[in-house]
Amino acid sequence: MAEKTGAMGGVIETVKTVVYALLIAGAFRTILFQPFWIPSGSMKDTLLIGDFLFVNKMAYGYSYASCPSILIPALNVDIGADDFCGVFKGKTERLFGSEPERGDVVVFRHPVTGRDFIKRLIGLPGDRIQMKDGLLYLNDEAVKIEDNGIFTEVYAPQGPEQSMPACANGPVGPGADCIKERSSETLPNGVTHDILNIGNRSLDNTGVYTVPADNFFFMGDNRDNSTDSRVPQTLNGVGFVPREDIVGRADRVIFSSAGRSMLAFWTWRSDRFFKGIE
């Protein structure tokens, strides 16, 4: 009997340990940092497919979007932040809130689907934004832009989704160099970052977007391969992003893999480990 009691006690202690670990991990993810894996090429060459980073949730304070979401398609599990913290949805004020800055790389909840997106913050409330021939205008002034050579990658399937890159010199064959024009763009507050250009695309020329109060305007650095605020808010478009949908700021790449799995160590990009995001 003593042995059975001891065995049961061991099981109970193991269960308690697992529960405590899950609670600590949940608190860590909810309050401090959220892991994020880059699934697409919309932020090249600042972020590459397969980059892994932690999102700083303390940067802008907390809203309903700070609560974790759980998506496991194989198990048909799809729990969004509003399922955990929906009672706080609709509030424009953020707990311990601070203002995002133009040029920050930000993770936010898609206003329609609730999925996590990562883009660069371009427009603040009240800003007027327009694209003319691929050049960004902020409040009727063109931003400073300088040529920065080319960005070259191999034309091959990338990441877990095995997506193929778009090329300015395309179409090219498998294994060939896929080239994009690269420029350095400097925003009015002095933030400089690279942008990529593939060619003439429909979003190179737009109307004027005026950012509403308590909303923000985001764009991908891979300008011709990014679904962002230039596309109206739908299942496939982002539109203006409400303040409450912001999750946090991306500051640093922790790990990076060019393969389908992070376990494929021969595809690791060690030069990107702990790389700061600019």
What was the pLDDT predicted at 70? Answer: 77
What was the pLDDT predicted at 263? Answer: 83
What was the pLDDT predicted at 25? Answer: 43
The CATH fold of domain 34-276: Umud Fragment, subunit A (2.10.109)
119 is catalytic: yes
What was the pLDDT predicted at 5? Answer: 56
Question: Minimal CA–CA distance to 225: which of 100, 44, 54?
Answer: 44
What was the pLDDT predicted at 27? Answer: 46
Contact (CB, 8 A) for 259 and 267: yes
| Cα distance between residue 81 and residue 114, in whole Å | 8
The catalytic position among 40, 42, 63, 66 is 42
Question: Minimal CA–CA distance to 225: which of 143, 166, 156, 157?
Answer: 166
What was the pLDDT predicted at 11? Answer: 54
> Is the pTM higher than 0.75?
yes
| Cα distance between residue 139 and residue 232, in whole Å | 20
Helix H or strand E segment including 184: strand 177-186
What pLDDT tens digit does each residue of the chain (278 aa) get?
555 555 565 556 655 554 444 444 444 444 577 899 999 999 999 999 999 999 999 999 988 888 887 777 777 777 778 877 877 787 778 888 889 999 999 999 998 888 999 999 999 999 999 999 999 999 999 999 999 999 999 999 998 888 999 999 988 999 999 999 999 999 999 999 999 999 889 899 999 999 999 999 999 999 999 999 999 998 888 999 999 999 999 999 999 999 888 888 899 999 999 999 98
The catalytic position among 44, 57, 66, 119 is 119
Contact (CB, 8 A) for 226 and 219: yes
Q: Where are the chain's structural domains? A: 34-276
